[in-house]
Every structure is written in structure tokens, then in C-alpha cells.
Structure 1
Amino acid sequence: MYLFEGLKKQISAYLPPEQVALVQQAYVVARDAHAPQTRSSGEPYITHPVAVSSILADMRMDHETLMAALLHDVIEDTPFDKADLARLFGDTVAELVQGVSKLDKVKFKDYKEFEVTNLQKMFMAMTQDIRVILIKLADRTHNMRTLGALRPEKRRRIAKETLELYAPIANRLGIHNIKNELEDCGFQALYPMRYRALSTAVRQARGNRRELLEKIRHEILDRLSTVGIIAEVSGREKHLYSIYCKMKNKELMFNDVMDIYAFRVVVDSIDQCYRTLGVVHNLYKPIEIRFKDYIAMPKQNGYQSLHTSLVGPHGIPIEIQMRTHEMNETADNGIAAHWMYKANGEHQDTTAQIRARRWMQSLLELQQHAGNSAEFVENVKSELYPDELYVFSPKGRIVELPIGATPVDFAYAVHTDIGNRCVGAKIDRRPYPLNKPLETGQTVEIVTSPGGKPNANWLNYVVTSRAILGIRNYLKKQKQDEAVNLGKRLLSSALGDIKFTDIAPERLEQVLHNSKQHSLDELCSEIGLGNQLAIAVARRLLGEFDSPDPDANPKINPADSHSSSAANSSLKSKAFIIGADGMLITFAKCCRPIHGDEIIASATPGKGLYVHRSDCRNIKSWDKEPGKFFPVKWDKTVDQQFLCDIRIFILNRHGLLAKLTTLIAAQGSNIQNLVTDDRDTGEYVIKITLSVRDRVHLANVMRKIRVLPEVQKVYRRR
């Protein structure tokens, strides 16, 4: 219990005793569940959940969050399941733990699929309860603090994921304390030499300028006190990863970054923020284009502050941030600021929390429109922009967009229908190119037309996931509509004089059921996309391929088919050709197509599909008769043997024929027929009909035959 004492003291400062007791119960369960387990460092595993809870206690999170943090690895690493936790601690705590747990019991193709599916699960749990991501960020923060115990390759992988995903999420939610720590820990793990060099240089630079910093700080404090403003003024430290990114992205030297002296002024009210701005502009000369008002227009993560840049003593550039105490707390803790309920029982939402809820709503919209887990996670990552610009609608509404956004992004941000009907844009009442990035302060007007539609080229320059998904979904729908129309034309042509209205509804329902489609449009779409054969669907609609007995086997002529196994396959088995389920299929003896060959077919009522290789000599001009012949595709899942003819030219040697047949059998192929022919040159020609699975199998057999010293030539008969 000694591990819990520090956490107990920490949470007792703001939680009532009965809630502290509940947290203690969760600790006992977690401790006992993790009892035999240790971390990579050799410490008892329970030290990790306690440390995660301590990080959340620093944010003054509620008791349910702290309980879930103590139990966050129980479902994943111990015999406990969600039902056990719900029974012990209630549904809310169980849901939080479930949201943080990985899907380690599900089988995945590879690590990438495992990763994106787990991320999607976490994001969806986050939209239900934002505390899921707070627990995950605290979990990742402690893992980054103790990263040194891991193998180098695993350390780098986790650091890279932290810098690319978790630090931007913390930034997006306005939790700058955690964001800064995740970035610096990730920077140290991913680039240790750069981290050490930059850390040493920063320590030296800060030591050399301490005296000047104090002088400027006192000048600001003295000037504010003369106008009656009580303020806290402190030097604002840039963290290492921020310095590194600025040097890298803006191609600056270290001295150019460190020559800027940064200060933070914290006052009691918004009015005093603006009064302080006037005071410091009177004290030092402002730099004209370096002023930002994030109080009137907060950042996407809820951050609020006034930023200004000035020329200080001796021409030194100075950056000053002015904010209230509440804004200062929000800047550090984001959505976690003021989490606790007020005395009257009402929850006071901060700007960060309101904006976080909007982001949660946007994640739900992304989930609904994304095609799969990978596309969803990719779009969520693209939403994690560190910088924003602010533009206005013609009615004065402020719209926040990421840096690089275009008028098309603005159109989709207003409404998906506006984006889909966009044909042009005006900026400050003047025409503006759709592919040109917007700038802060512009008034954007979108020109729409009823006949307007998205252009695929827009995907080359839009940056918001909402615009990307909107354009992609529209184009998919257009492609789907085109496929339906094409399929209807092909099916109508295959039906000849028969119209759709002439087909009995029960016949149509039966064909749709057999094809696993829900409507005629879906069936026509499959035809238009090439996944079904129009002629085959038409014959089924006309009942020409019905078996007299629904449970009877389809009749495939053993003489014309490739194997008896094909002849004995049931009606429900997978057809060799896509879209030909339930049809009679005959493979031409002249060319004997096998799985993997390019093939064409002709369809005759009562005889089904007659399939040739596309290079068959008997149908050289097939492409000039589209009404008779048409390309078809193999079903990828076919697991059957096909017959194939090969010719082998050999020098006659004693025992060679036995040697040859043994070799073929060793490759998993059976000889169905063998004929030899003696030539005047002393060569023998052996004509063999053998069974193979596909072109690859045949190639392997022929490769083995070629290496025999007596073999002169081997080829497949066309």
C-alpha cells in the first residue's frame, strides 16, 4: 500500500474522502491483478498505473478517471474483463478502461492493420468520453519517461509514433504541459545526439542572458504598476523540440532562434490584457506585422492569449504573451482545465472543452464517411494541424482552417453541399483562384451553381479531411451511378427483346438472392464494374440455366471438363469464372485454358459458357465479334486442377521416360495422357496432357523438365 500513499495525499487535496476510498479500492484490485508482472525496467508493474494516475491527479481529474487510470491495463494484461470491472466499479469506469485497452485478442494481417484498428477504436471511444484520451496521454507520458529500459528499435518506433500522433493530439486538445513533455522525450529518444547538442547549447545561452532577462522583466512590471495593473511577469522558456523544429523548418541558425527574448504576462481580466498591450507598446517599439489576438479569435484547441513582438533594449527582439489566470491554466491543461464541478453542481465548460466537443463531432462525421480504418486514421492525423488561419464568411462568421487551406476547403467547412456545388470563389469581393491558399483576415465568398460538381483535381490542393472525404465520396457516387447505367445498358442488350418489366418479380428476387445483391441497381453496378457477366445474368433472368432439381449437381460434361472433381462440384461451389455461378462452363480442348491465363468466352443458350485462351489460334479475330465473344475473369479463390497440353523434345536415352514421369509426379501433377513420336533426327517428341493448378504450377513443372540434360525443348501447346 506504500505505493498508493503519495497518490492518496495528492488526490485528498481536492477529492472528498468517499471518492478517495473508491480510488483506493481500484488500486487494490489493480495491484493484485498485476502482482506477478514486472516492467522492462524490473519494477513491479503496478508502479506504472500509479504514475499514470498521478499525472492525471496533477490535472485535478475526477475520481472515475483516476480509477480507470489505475485499472487501464487490467483488461489487456490480466484475466479481468469488462464485465468484471463493471460489477466492481460501475459501467463508466469499465467503459473508460475498455476504451484505452488494445484489441490484442483479435487476429490481424500485420502490425500496421493492428495499429490503425486500435487507433480507430481509441478515437471512437474518445468521442463517447473525452477522458479516454486523457488517460491514454498520461499513459504515453509515463511510458516516454521510462523509455530507456526498452530495446533501441522499439524505443525509436514508440518515439516516432509519439511525435507524429500523441503530441499533436495533446496540442489539439490544448494540453501543452503534456504536449511539450511528449515532444522533448520523443526528440531525445529519436535523435539522441541532436538532443544532447541542442540541450548543451540552450543551457549556455540561457546562462549568458539571465541578467538582461531580469532587467526587461522589471521594466515591464514597473510600467504596469504605474497604471495600477497587478501582474505576474515571467520569462517564457522555449522547449527543445520547439527550438529544433523552428531551426529545421525555417532554416534558422541556433543564435537566430535564441536571440528572441520571450515573456508571459498574467493578469486578472481580459480588459487588463488589452490595457497591458497598450502599456508594453508604449514601453518598447512594436513590430508592425507581429501581433495576434487569440482572445477574440481563439485557436482550434481553445488557446487564448494576446501575442505581440517588440524591439527591446539594445535592439533585442522581444515576444510577449498576455493572458488571464484562467487562460494560463487552459494553456497548460487544455480540456482538463477546470474539470471539477462547481459548488452549485454545474459543470463550467472552458473554451477548450467546447472546441474539443466540436472536434469529437467532426471525428464521428469522418468515421461515417471513411471507407476503412486506415482511411479514417489517416484523415484524423491530417486534422492535427499545429497552426490555423482565420477567415470570414460574407455574414461575418469566423471560420478556422489549417494553414494552406484553399477556398474549396472553406466551402466544405461551411457545408458539404456548398463544396459539392462550388464553381468559383471571391476574396474581398474579387475573383480568387480555387487552388490558391487563403490568408488570415480574408472574407471568402463561394460561388455555387446547381450544375456544379467536385473536380478530381481538387484533391491535389485541398488540405482538410472534410474536403478530401467530401470530394472522394461524391466521385465514388458518380462512379457508382455510371456503373449502374452501364450495367443496365449491357443487361438490356443481353436480354434482347425482353424488357425488365417482362421479368417476373419472383424470378428477379431469386437471381438477386443467388447473386447476393439487394437491388437491381446493385446487380447492374456489378455488371458495369465487370464483376458479373451481362449475358450470364440475362440467361439466369430468363431461366435458361435452371437445373430441373434445385439440389441436383450441375451437368458438366466430363469429356469436355478438365477434371472429374469439376464435374462433381455442387451447385453451391465456387464457379471458375467470376459471375458464372450456377452456369455450365466448358473449357476448349484446342487451347486448354488454365487458371491465370487471359481468357475469353462465348455464351450459347443451353450450352453455357465456352472458354478459350485469348491467344487461341482458332479464334484469332474474336475481338472483331463483340456480340459473340467477350473477356472474362477467373475467380481468384478457385482451388481445382486443370488439364494442359505440353510438348517435350528429347534425345532418346534408356530409362528417360520413367525419369520424366517421376519428376512430373514429384511436382504434384498427374499425367492424364502421354503419346510419343519418333523422328528421323533421333529425337523423340512426347505429347503429355497433365493436370496443374494454375500457370505458376505449370511453369514450375516445365522448369524442372528443362534442366534434364536430355531435354532439347519444352513448350505449351497453343
Structure 2
Amino acid sequence: MYLFEGLKAKVSEYLPDDQVEQVQAAYVLARDAHEGQTRSSGDPYITHPVAVTGILADMHMDYETLMAALLHDVIEDTDYSKEDLALAFNETVAELVEGVSKLDKLKFQSKQEAQAENFRKMLMAMVQDIRVILIKLADRTHNMRTLGALRPDKRRRIALETLEIYTPIAHRLGIHDMKNELEDLGFLAMYPMRHRALHSAVSQARGNRKEVIEKTRLDLANKIGEYGIKGRVVGREKHLYSIYRKMRNKELSFTEVMDIYGFRIIVNSVDNCYRVLGAIHGMYKPIENRFKDYIAIPRSNGYQSLHTSLKGPHGIPVEVQIRTDEMDQMADKGVAAHWLYKKSNDKTTTAQLRANQWMQSLVELQQRASTSVEFIESVKTDLFPDEIYVFSPKGRIVELPIGATAVDFAYAVHSDIGNTCVGARVEHKNFPLSKPLETGQSVEIITSPRAKPNANWLNFVVSARARSNIRHFLKRQQSKDAINMGNRLLRHALGTVKLDDIPQADIDRVLDETKYESYEALLANIGMGNELSAMIARRLVGENDDISDKKGNVAIKGTEGLMVHFSRCCFPIPGDEIVAILSPGRGVVIHQTGCTNIRKLSKEEPQRVLPMEWDDKPQGDFKASVRVELINRQGTLAALTAAIASSDSSIINLQTDDREDYNYSIDIELTTKNRVHLASIMRKIRSLPDLQQISRHSQNKQQ
């Protein structure tokens, strides 16, 4: 229990005794479940969940969150199930653990899709209970703190994932202290040399700037004191990754970044925030276009503050943030401040409201995205929202990503307005739909009930909501058109047989054979050319003569009225076991059952591979290929061609390859009527005195 003592002291500061006891019970179960397991560092595994829970205890999270944090790897790494945890504790704890647990190892087409699906599931679990992502962020924070025990390549992979996914989520939820730590730890793991050099330079610069920073801080504090405002002024340190990113993105030197002095002024009311702003603008000259009022219009994650930039002493740029105590707590803790500072009658925080709005938008994106990869791309777009703020004609503030257009605005107001948008007016003047909007503009959307989204809009919209709505509408419209086309093609292929007269049992049988979930899906694929209407018609009614005019003789049963091609990869001939592939534009392509191309396709798209039969008396000539090895003597090639001709066969193509020891290797495409005929041709060739070897040949064998 020695590992739990420090954690117990921490949670006992704010939780009642009965809840502390439940947290302790979760620790005992986790400790016993992980008995014998160790981390990469060699430490007992239980040290990790205890550390994760400690991070959450610093946020004053509720006891159920702490219990789930202690148990977060139990489902994946031990014999315990969700049901076991629900029985031992309660359903909420079990669901939190399941949401946080690493997800089932499913089989996907690609590693990218697998990662996207796991991330999608995590976000959906977060939507159900935001505490899931708080545990996940704490889990990632401790893993980043202990990356040193892993291989360099694994460290870089985890760091990249942290910087791309987890730090933007922490930012989106307003948890800036955790976001800053994750960014700096990710920076250290990704670029250790750059981190070391920058850390050294910052430490040196901090020492050189100490006197200037302290003098400026005192000047600001004295100024607000003159106005009778109670508050405190603190120097604002830039963290390393922020400095690095600013140097890289804006192509600034280290000196240019560090020449900007940052201060935070914290007062007791919103009214005093604006009074302080006036006071310091009278003290130092404000820099034009560098003022932001995030109190009147909070950021997407609920962040509130006044930002201004000033020409400080000796012309040095000074950045100042002005906020209340509550805003300062919210800026660091975000949604977690709901637990850290809540009272029994406390209202929902701004960050929570914004987080709930964002999570609702995630549900909408999830419903419209056709794949996990598409969903994650939309979410990533949503996670980096340098915002602009525009107004509806009635004065409603609409927040959009930077670069957003009138179409993005239309979809932000309502999906129906976006879908019927035909034009826009900005500041009462006509405005191009593709032109980016600017903060402060008033936007009016012109709609028409007959209008519909344009695929070209995808080239300029930037918001995830607009992109997903447009894609969803276009896919739905495309599917509707394809179903109508498929229905017409199938009715035409059925001829005198009416589609409405076909029993439902026959339709269900064909759906089962072709692996389609619904009749509409089958029709859509006929309409898009992925299925042949004549083939589906024949499957629906069997060998009913009414569906085609069966004139003459055909080689393959059931292909009357269809284009038939014989594959050159395996050269099927009558007598071989065969299957058919439905190929849009080519009709039916016949292969041997053992063809390697077919084996692969049978696993990936079994609905496209159909077993077929030769007609009872197929007529005509078919192509076959044989490989012959001969001793290269004068007249040998002539004797070979004469033997083929005497067997009632013609040579279509012949390729020779000289081998060592004066041998010929010859691939011959020739005509044959069936397997029996081919066997007689090969017997004739075997009678040649200079023959070394003969075998039936295919492209598959060459590979």
C-alpha cells in the first residue's frame, strides 16, 4: 500500500472518507490484477495508473474518474472484463474504463484506417462522458514523462501522435497547462538536439532580461494601483515548443521571438479588465491591429481574456493579457475547472458549454463520414481552428475557422441553409461564395428551394461541418441516381419477366449470394456499373428463356446476351474448372478456378467471383499457352511448328528465349478446342526427338 499513501493524502484533501475508501478499493483491485507486470523501465506496472490518477487528483476530479484511472488498463491487460468491474464497483466506472481502454485489435485495410478507427472510437466514448478524454490525456501525459525507457523510433512515433492528436484536444478543451506540458515533452522526444539548444538559449536570455522584465512589471502594477484597481501582474513565460513553432512558422530568429515581453494582469471583475486596458494604453502606445477581445467573444474552447500589444520601454514590444481570477483558472484548466472549482450550486462553465457544443458537432461528423479516415480528417480540421467571428443579419455571432467562406457560414447556421445556398451578401453587397470572410463582417445567405450543393464547393470550404455536409449530400444524391438507373437496367434485362412478379425469396437468395446488405445497394451497384444487369437478371429467374433470345451456341452457360472475355493470365479452355469476374465495361471475364489472381480476389471481394460452367458442346477455338524446352539444333523449330499444325492447331504467338547449353525455351500461344485436344497436341510435341520438357503455361506461373 506504500504506493497509494501519497495519492490517498492528495485525494483526502477534497473527497469525503467514503469516496476515498472506494478509490482505495479500486487501487487494490488494480494492484492485484497487474501483479507481476512491469513497464519498459522495469518498474511495477501499477506505478503507471497511480501516477495517472495523481495527475487527475491535482485537478480535483471526482472519485469515479479516479477509480477509472486506476483501472484504465485492467480490461486490456488482465483477465477482468467490463462486467467484472461493474459488479465490483458500478456501471459508470466500468464504462469509463472501457472508454479509455485501448480498443480491440480489429483487422483493417491499412494501418492508417486502424489508427483512425481507434481514434474515432475514443472520441465517441468521450462524447458519452467527457471524463474519458481527461483520463486519456492524463494517461498520455505520464507516458510522455516516462518515454526515456523506449527505443528512439518508438519515442518519435508516440511524440508525433501526441503533437498531432492529444495536444490539439487538450487545447480544444481549454486545458492549457496540460497542453503546454505535452507539447514540450513531444518536442523533446521528436527533436532532442533542438530542444536542448533552445532550452539553453532561453535560460541565458532569461537571465539577461530579468531586470527589464521586473521594471516593466512594477511599472504596470503601479499604473493599475493609481487607478485604485486591486490586481496582480506576473511575467508570462513562453514555453519552448511555442517559441520553436513561432520561429519555424514565421521564420523569425530566436532574438526576434525573445524580444517580446509577456505579462498577465489578473483582477477581480470584468469591469476592471476594461479599466486596466485603458490605463495601460495611456501608459504605453498600443500597436495597431493587435487588440483582441476574447471576453466579449470567447474562443472556441471557452477561453476569455483581453489581449493587447504595446510599445514598451525603449520601444520593446510588450504583450499583455488581462483577465479575472476565474478566467485565469479557466485558461489553465479548461473543462477540468468544472471539477476543480465547482461548488454545490455552481453553474456550468463556459469551457464546458463550448466543449459540449464541440462534442455534439463530433456526433454530426461521425454520422455523415463514410469512413473512419474521413472522420478523423474532418476532426483534425476542427482541432486547429484559428478563428474568425462574423455576424448574421440578426446580430448572432458565428465562429468559423480562419479562411472560412460564405458556404462555411451557411452550414454553420444550419445544414438546410447550406444545402440550398445560391449566393451571399456581405455588408449588404454581393459577395463571391468562394472568397474568405474576415472577422467582424455581417453575412447574409441567399437560398433557393431548388438549389443543391455543388461538388466544386469542396475545393474552397474549410470547416469540417461544411465539408461533411456537402460530401453526405453528394453521396446520397449519387446513390439515389444510381438506384434509379440500376432499376431501369434490371427491368430491361429481365425482358418479358416483370420485376414485380419475382418472389421475395429469390431476391433474398441473390442478395445472400452477392453479399449485399439490401436490394437498394444491389440496384445502386448495377447503376454504377459494378454489377451486370443481365447476370443479376439470370440469377433472379434461373434458366428462364424469357429473359434473353438464346440464339446460336455459347461457350459458357448463362452468358447469353453478355460480352464474354477469356483471361490471358490463365487461358481457360473447355474442360477446365472456371469462375467469372464481373468487370464494368468488359462484361464477364472467365478465369481458371486455380488462377492466383482469383484466389486473391475471392478473399477481398467474394461477391464479384461467380462459379461458372461450360456449355455442353462449346464450339470454336480457344487460346491456350504451352512452354516447350528444346535442344537448339538446325530444323528443330520447324519440326515443332509442323507437329502443332498436324494436330489441327494454329500458332497465334511464339516467343523464344535462348538458354545455356544451346537450349531453346519457347512460349507458344495456340488454338485448341478443349483439354482433350490440348493433351493430343502436347503428346505430338513430346514425340519430337529434341524435346526436353513441355508444360501448360500461364502468366501466373511467370510471376
What band does the TM-score fall into relative to the shorter chain?
A: 0.7 to 0.9
Equivalence for 2:700 = 697
User: Is 1:584 the equivalent of 2:587?
Assistant: no
Indicate the SS of the match to 1:55.
Answer: helix
Q: What letter corresponds to residue 136 of structure 2 in structure 1?
A: K
Give 1:367 deviation, angstroms: 1.2
Indicate the SS of the match to 1:321.
Answer: strand
2: CA distance, partners of 1:529 / 1:54: 57
Indicate the SS of the match to 1:447.
Answer: strand
Paired-residue identity, %: 59
Equivalence for 2:551 = none
2: CA distance, partners of 1:408 / 1:610: 50
2: CA distance, partners of 1:108 / 1:205: 50
Q: What letter corresponds to residue 271 of structure 1 in structure 2?
A: D
Equivalence for 2:459 = 460
Q: What letter corresponds to residue 593 of structure 1 in structure 2?
A: F
1: CA distance, partners of 2:509 / 2:191: 64
Instruction: Note the alpha carbon deviations across 1:254-309, whole angstroms, 9 max, x for none.
Output: 11111111100111111111111111111111112111000110000000000011
2: CA distance, partners of 1:520 / 1:202: 66
Q: What letter corresponds to residue 164 of structure 1 in structure 2?
A: E
User: Is this contact kept in 1: 2:628–2:694, CA < 8 A?
Assistant: no
Give 1:523 deviation, angstroms: 3.7
Equivalence for 2:209 = 209
Instruction: Sort the Cα spacing of 1:696 and 1:469 in 2 relative to 1 into closer, same or farther, 3 A.
Output: farther
Equivalence for 2:428 = 429
Give 1:612 deviation, angstroms: 12
Indicate the SS of the match to 1:307.
Answer: strand
Give 1:524 deviation, angstroms: 2.8
Equivalence for 1:192 = 192
Instruction: Note the alpha carbon deviations across 1:681-705, whole angstroms, 9 max, x for none.
Output: x998999894x8xx642544xxxxx
2: CA distance, partners of 1:284 / 1:440: 26
Equivalence for 1:348 = 347
Equivalence for 2:654 = none
Equivalence for 1:34 = 34
Instruction: Sort the Cα spacing of 1:639 and 1:475 in 2 relative to 1 into closer, same or farther, 3 A.
Output: closer
Instruction: Note the alpha carbon deviations across 1:11-55, whole angstroms, 9 max, x for none.
Output: 111111111111111111111222211111121111111111111
Instruction: Note the alpha carbon deviations across 1:525-556, whole angstroms, 9 max, x for none.
Output: 2211223222233445555449xxxxxxxxxx
Equivalence for 1:240 = 240
User: Is 1:632 the equivalent of 2:588?
Assistant: yes
2: CA distance, partners of 1:80 / 1:651: 69
Indicate the SS of the match to 2:120.
Answer: helix
Instruction: Sort the Cα spacing of 1:352 and 1:595 in 2 relative to 1 into closer, same or farther, 3 A.
Output: farther
Equivalence for 2:225 = 225
Equivalence for 1:490 = 489
Equivalence for 1:118 = 118
The equivalences for 1:107-186 within 5 A come to 107-108=107-108, 111-186=111-186
Indicate the SS of the match to 2:681.
Answer: strand
Instruction: Sort the Cα spacing of 1:596 and 1:397 in 2 relative to 1 into closer, same or farther, 3 A.
Output: farther
User: Is 1:675 the equivalent of 2:649?
Assistant: no
The equivalences for 1:521-670 within 5 A come to 521-540=520-539, 544-545=543-544, 584=558, 593-594=566-567, 631-632=587-588, 636-637=601-602, 638=609, 645-647=624-626, 651=630
Instruction: Sort the Cα spacing of 1:429 and 1:40 in 2 relative to 1 into closer, same or farther, 3 A.
Output: same
Instruction: Note the alpha carbon deviations across 1:651-706, whole angstroms, 9 max, x for none.
Output: 4689x99x999x99xxxxx9961425989xx998999894x8xx642544xxxxxx
2: CA distance, partners of 1:648 / 1:107: 41
2: CA distance, partners of 1:335 / 1:684: 86
Instruction: Note the alpha carbon deviations across 1:89-138, whole angstroms, 9 max, x for none.
Output: 11111111111111245455554343222211211110000000000000
Indicate the SS of the match to 2:6.
Answer: helix
2: CA distance, partners of 1:49 / 1:673: 72
Instruction: Sort the Cα spacing of 1:519 and 1:244 in 2 relative to 1 into closer, same or farther, 3 A.
Output: closer
User: Is this contact kept in 2: 1:592–1:645, CA < 8 A?
Assistant: no
1: CA distance, partners of 2:154 / 2:219: 50
Give 1:247 deviation, angstroms: 1.0
Instruction: Sort the Cα spacing of 1:541 and 1:639 in 2 relative to 1 into closer, same or farther, 3 A.
Output: closer
Deviates most, 8-17 or 500-509: 500-509
Instruction: Sort the Cα spacing of 1:541 and 1:105 in 2 relative to 1 into closer, same or farther, 3 A.
Output: closer
User: Is this contact kept in 1: 2:565–2:586, CA < 8 A?
Assistant: no
Indicate the SS of the match to 2:430.
Answer: strand
Give 1:631 deviation, angstroms: 2.3
Q: What letter corresponds to residue 420 of structure 2 in structure 1?
A: R
User: Is this contact kept in 1: 2:290–2:309, CA < 8 A?
Assistant: yes
Equivalence for 2:269 = 269
User: Is this contact kept in 1: 2:582–2:588, CA < 8 A?
Assistant: no
User: Is this contact kept in 1: 2:580–2:589, CA < 8 A?
Assistant: no
User: Is this contact kept in 2: 1:390–1:401, CA < 8 A?
Assistant: yes
2: CA distance, partners of 1:439 / 1:279: 29
Deviates most, 501-510 or 334-343: 501-510
Q: What letter corresponds to residue 458 of structure 1 in structure 2?
A: W
The equivalences for 1:6-405 within 5 A come to 6-104=6-104, 106-108=106-108, 111-339=111-339, 344=344, 346-405=345-404
User: Is this contact kept in 1: 2:390–2:442, CA < 8 A?
Assistant: yes
Q: What letter corresponds to residue 679 of structure 2 in structure 1?
A: N
Instruction: Note the alpha carbon deviations across 1:543-583, whole angstroms, 9 max, x for none.
Output: 5449xxxxxxxxxxxx967xxxxxxxxxxxxxxxxxxxxx7
2: CA distance, partners of 1:107 / 1:521: 27
Give 1:650 deviation, angstroms: 5.5
User: Is this contact kept in 1: 2:85–2:93, CA < 8 A?
Assistant: yes
Gaps of 5+ in 1: 547-558, 562-582, 600-608, 615-625, 665-669, 701-718
Equivalence for 1:620 = none
Instruction: Sort the Cα spacing of 1:202 and 1:508 in 2 relative to 1 into closer, same or farther, 3 A.
Output: closer
Give 1:646 deviation, angstroms: 1.8
User: Is this contact kept in 2: 1:421–1:449, CA < 8 A?
Assistant: yes
1: CA distance, partners of 2:153 / 2:363: 34
Give 1:424 deviation, angstroms: 1.8
1: CA distance, partners of 2:430 / 2:374: 34
RMSD over equivalenced CA pairs, Å: 3.9
Q: What letter corresponds to residue 531 of structure 2 in structure 1?
A: Q
Give 1:459 deviation, angstroms: 1.3
User: Is this contact kept in 1: 2:581–2:588, CA < 8 A?
Assistant: no
Give 1:431 deviation, angstroms: 1.8
Equivalence for 1:451 = 450
2: CA distance, partners of 1:505 / 1:186: 59
Instruction: Sort the Cα spacing of 1:639 and 1:277 in 2 relative to 1 into closer, same or farther, 3 A.
Output: same
User: Is this contact kept in 1: 2:630–2:664, CA < 8 A?
Assistant: no
Q: What letter corresponds to residue 673 of structure 1 in structure 2?
A: A
Equivalence for 1:471 = 470
2: CA distance, partners of 1:14 / 1:263: 32
TM-score normalised by structure 2 residue count: 0.82
Q: What letter corresponds to residue 349 of structure 2 in structure 1?
A: T
Gaps of 5+ in 2: 546-553, 573-577, 591-597, 603-608, 615-621, 641-662, 669-674
Deviates most, 438-447 or 629-638: 629-638
Deviates most, 428-437 or 493-502: 493-502
Q: What letter corresponds to residue 153 of structure 1 in structure 2?
A: D
